[in-house]
């Protein structure tokens, strides 16, 4: 099968399209012919080697963390899907590889594709929608009437998190650039901060939840926005000892995480708030809950550009440029 692969870690590693064997199908696996896959910042982080301590992948490595396609074969323990079903998924993080013609995914990670979406639209959603769900529903337990600040609202996660937070009944603030202010309001944000002209930390107060996907500067300034008892949740780190334990990491790595997050955990404790690092996980049952929200119209995909499979490297470079509004999709079939 054709696949977009890297042969080594490195920021300057471009990747190439090559031929690899079709994946082996385990007893609880679903083999999917991929129609479309979307690009996430995570792909570039994996390519550069940022996660090699957490996820020691083997080379050649097929990149890609979410997809939509058609089931072609199932393992003998699989009961919930059958050949011919249209599905979408974020594969388990130790079995990535959606920039390819085929992938084998655990049945527990797969959900039937929303009936009202195309393959391209569906491929744009699994990772970002699951991230938004695991932050706002699982970690924050966001309730109607609470206030949430979602940084980088025009990004893949941000554009879905705004819609999910509004569906949950929250008051939503977001940060974005000047060009996207009106779009953020149309997406459902109640308060839009133009970070090129305004400082969110001087304008917002007493927020219940902050979702950070940016750098340390924004992470630390977010403390000024939180109320006592509030919850600061970061997708970009630093990771915590609790995360290391949950991942089954070695004791030395747990201590590394402890040191990395010591500063922010201390500052959060000082204001009586809580800090959580979220690294999203594949979950087909959560994806099915998200499907019902998509089919009801509560969440809609935001696709910026679609690239042909042979231009996967260009698609990744476009996402790395930071100019994408929503998601960038690679059409494989």
Per-residue pLDDT tens over the stretch 224-243: 999 999 999 999 989 999 99
Per-residue pLDDT tens over the stretch 246-299: 989 999 999 999 999 999 999 999 999 999 999 999 999 999 999 999 999 999
Output the six-digit token pair for 54: 């957490």
Mean pLDDT for 157-173 is 98
In this structure, the answer to whether residues 307 and 186 fall within a common structural domain is: no
For the question of whether the overall pTM of this predicted structure is more than 0.95, the answer is yes
In this structure, the answer to whether residues 316 and 199 fall within a common structural domain is: no
In this structure, the answer to whether residues 204 and 78 fall within a common structural domain is: no
pLDDT at 23: 97
Write down which residue in 262, 277, 292 finishes a domain.
277
- Would 308 be classed as within a structural domain? yes
In this structure, the answer to whether residues 110 and 134 fall within a common structural domain is: no
Instruction: Say yes or no to pLDDT of 34 above 90.
Output: yes
In this structure, the answer to whether residues 195 and 141 fall within a common structural domain is: yes
pLDDT at 185: 97
The CATH code of the domain that includes 258 is 3.40.50.720
pLDDT at 282: 97
Range of 157's domain? 128-277
pLDDT at 322: 87
CB 148 within 8 A of CB 209: yes
The CATH code of the domain that includes 100 is 3.90.180.10
* E strand intervals along the chain: 2-6, 16-19, 29-39, 61-62, 67-74, 86-89, 102-106, 110-112, 147-150, 171-176, 191-194, 207-212, 226-234, 274-277, 303-308, 327-331
Confidence of residue 88 (pLDDT cuts 50, 70, 90): very high
Per-residue pLDDT tens over the stretch 119-128: 999 999 999 9
From the CB of residue 165, how many other CB atoms can be counted at a distance below 10 Å? Answer: 30
In this structure, the answer to whether residues 150 and 219 fall within a common structural domain is: yes
Instruction: Say yes or no to pLDDT of 181 above 90.
Output: yes
pLDDT at 237: 86
Q: How many domains does the chain have?
A: 2
Write down which residue in 277, 293, 319 finishes a domain.
277
- Would 78 be classed as within a structural domain? yes
């Amino acid at each position: 099968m054709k696949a977009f692969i890297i042969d080594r870690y490195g920021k300057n590693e471009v990747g190439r399209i090559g031929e690899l064997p079709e994946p082996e199908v385990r007893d609880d696996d679903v083999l999917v012919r991929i129609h479309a896959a979307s690009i996430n910042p995570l792909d570039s982080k994996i390519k550069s080697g940022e996660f090699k301590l957490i996820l020691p992948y083997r080379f050649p490595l097929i990149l890609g963390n979410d997809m939509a396609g058609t089931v072609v074969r199932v393992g003998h323990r699989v009961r919930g899907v059958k050949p011919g079903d249209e599905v979408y998924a974020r594969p388990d993080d130790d079995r990535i590889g959606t920039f390819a013609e085929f992938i084998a995914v655990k049945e527990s990670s797969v959900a039937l594709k929303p009936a009202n979406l195309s393959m391209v639209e569906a491929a744009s959603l699994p990772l970002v929608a699951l991230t938004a769900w695991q932050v706002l529903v699982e970690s924050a337990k966001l309730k109607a009437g609470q206030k949430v600040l979602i940084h980088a609202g025009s990004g893949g996660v941000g554009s879905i998190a705004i819609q999910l937070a509004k569906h949950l009944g929250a008051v939503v603030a977001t940060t974005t650039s000047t060009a996207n202010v009106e779009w953020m309001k149309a997406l459902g944000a109640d308060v839009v901060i133009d970070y090129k002209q305004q400082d969110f930390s001087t304008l917002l107060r007493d927020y219940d939840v902050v979702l950070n996907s940016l750098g340390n500067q924004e992470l630390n300034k977010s403390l000024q926005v939180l109320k006592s008892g509030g919850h600061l949740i970061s997708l970009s780190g630093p990771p915590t000892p609790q995360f290391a334990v949950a991942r089954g990491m070695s004791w030395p790595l747990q201590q590394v995480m402890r040191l990395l997050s010591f500063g922010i955990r201390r500052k959060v404790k000082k204001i009586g708030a809580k800090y959580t690092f979220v690294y999203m996980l594949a979950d087909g049952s959560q994806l099915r809950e998200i499907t019902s929200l998509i089919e009801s119209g509560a969440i809609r995909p935001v696709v910026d550009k679609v690239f042909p499979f042979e231009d996967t490297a260009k698609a990744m470079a476009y996402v790395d440029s930071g100019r994408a509004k929503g998601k960038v999709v690679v059409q494989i079939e």
